[in-house]
Amino acid sequence: MGSSWLFRNATVVSIDEKIGTVKNCDVLVQDSIISEVAPNISAPSDDTVIIDATNAILSPGFVDTHRHTWQTQLRTVTGDFTLTDYAIHIRNRYGSCYTPEDVYLANLCGALESLDAGTTCLLDHCHILNSPAHADAAVDGLRASRIRGTFCYGLYGNPVFSDPKISDGTALVTDNQDWRHDDARRIREEKFQSNKAEDLLRFGFAPTEVERTPLEQTLNEIQLGRSLGAAIVTGHIAMGSYDRELHLVRILAERKLLGPDLVFSHGAALLEDELKAIKEAGAAISSTPDTELQMGMGQPIAFEAEKHGCTASIGIDITSNNPADMFGQMRLMLQQKRYSEVGSAPPPPRKVAARCEDVLRMATLGGAKALGLSHLTGSITPGKRADLVLTRCDSLRLTPVHDPAIALVLYANASDVDTVLVDGVPVKRDGKLAPTERTVEEVRREYNGSSEIDP
């Protein structure tokens, strides 16, 4: 396989303000770096891999900034759940049943699903760490997939079944999570020795859920993550009626603990002063449209956050509820925003409240900014890492394409993704995932088997 790639005659949606969208354009990748974006680029060597990108859109890879990747085996389980249902069944039952091998397969297959759909980078908020072996497996699964990402060590303690045959809650015993503090340090030292932005996988941290934790414990856990050198510290906040009286952002601002390393998930109920504080601190927000709208957390706040100058991004959240498909999340969040600005009140709108290019930017460069990686990825810019997605427009659904950004947001889906590069390495080619250490079919069989346990 050559170390250089040349995409020829593409429609390039760069998400770079200086480059913009360019038709009939070439993009050259050399040694994992985007080296040139221009028409009629000559191949630098005989072994350059040339991809005919005629009738295709080349865009930066999507960045998923909030994901519980371990729930891959639970696909469709939570489709009719409220957040209360989710807490009872997923967090208090299913999560207690996972073995380390289940976690490995979940993270491997979850990341592969993302790559298949054009997501080249994700933040894994990993709260399935029932033992040190589970933590090792979670990291190893992500690494085996070849996705770019941030593994956030989650302190949440899934309840332990004293008797696996009893599933009505009476057999649950409290898990003392203090051992996880030491284990997070072990994982940081053993698995993430450098933890530089350029590393394909970095160490992050996720304190115990704030809505069920004493305030001082939450503050101490944030400080613990920082003391371990976490690239990102992440957590759920402002989930409507579920934590209405808890204004964590306000408290963090008062204690001078806000910072650019914080990524707040959901945040639908954030108030104006909290958005201002997030903006001033350089922190970021991850909206997850499917789960927030379904489970009663409120309307996604990403567009409102951007209006206040915050970095806003998009997350998949849980594939027990919806696929790891950023196309669908962009579409849902955009149209919900458009409706919420108009509703049923006259007069008819003279313009839409948000544009397709706005939500596409959130799903790419916005995510990269949230994770502190915008100098490396998130746009097709010479000098950045080659995290690229080629979307074919051969189907009737994508014929013709007058506006490529609108095509990506409102028309395309994962089946249109032809080629995906992560750090210049092909992880999908000609519509098929490239094999990992195990073939895709082997992984599918093992993963299917691990999903059959009924708690």
Same domain as 361, residue 393? no
Same domain as 311, residue 426? no
List the CATH number of the domain containing 423. Answer: 2.30.40.10
Same domain as 166, residue 38? no
Same domain as 91, residue 50? no
Alpha carbon distance 206, 239 (integer Å): 17
Same domain as 241, residue 198? yes
- Phi, psi angle pair for 352, to nearest 5°: -75, 155
Range of 175's domain? Answer: 62-370
Same domain as 74, residue 16? no
> What radius of gyration do the chain's Cα atoms show?
21
Same domain as 165, residue 32? no
Which is nearest to 234 in space by CA: 200, 258, 262? 262
| Residue ending a domain, choose from 352, 370, 388 | 370
Do 244 and 269 form a contact (C-beta atoms < 8 A)?
Answer: yes
Residue-level pLDDT, tens digit, the chain, 455 residues: 458 999 999 999 999 999 999 999 999 999 999 999 999 999 999 999 999 999 999 999 999 999 999 999 999 999 999 999 998 899 888 999 999 999 999 999 999 999 999 999 999 999 999 999 999 999 999 999 999 999 999 999 888 765 555 555 444 455 567 899 999 999 999 999 999 999 999 999 999 998 889 999 999 999 999 999 999 999 999 998 888 788 999 999 999 999 999 999 999 999 999 999 999 999 999 999 999 999 999 999 999 999 999 999 999 999 999 999 999 999 999 999 999 988 766 778 888 999 999 999 999 999 999 999 999 999 999 999 999 999 999 999 999 999 999 999 999 999 999 999 999 999 999 999 998 877 777 777 776 777 775 54
List of residues 6+ apart from 178 with CB closer than 8 A: none
pTM of the model: 0.95
H/E element, 38: strand 33-38
List the CATH number of the domain containing 292. Answer: 3.20.20.140
Same domain as 67, residue 46? no
Q: What are 71-84's pLDDT values in tens digits?
A: 999 999 999 999 99
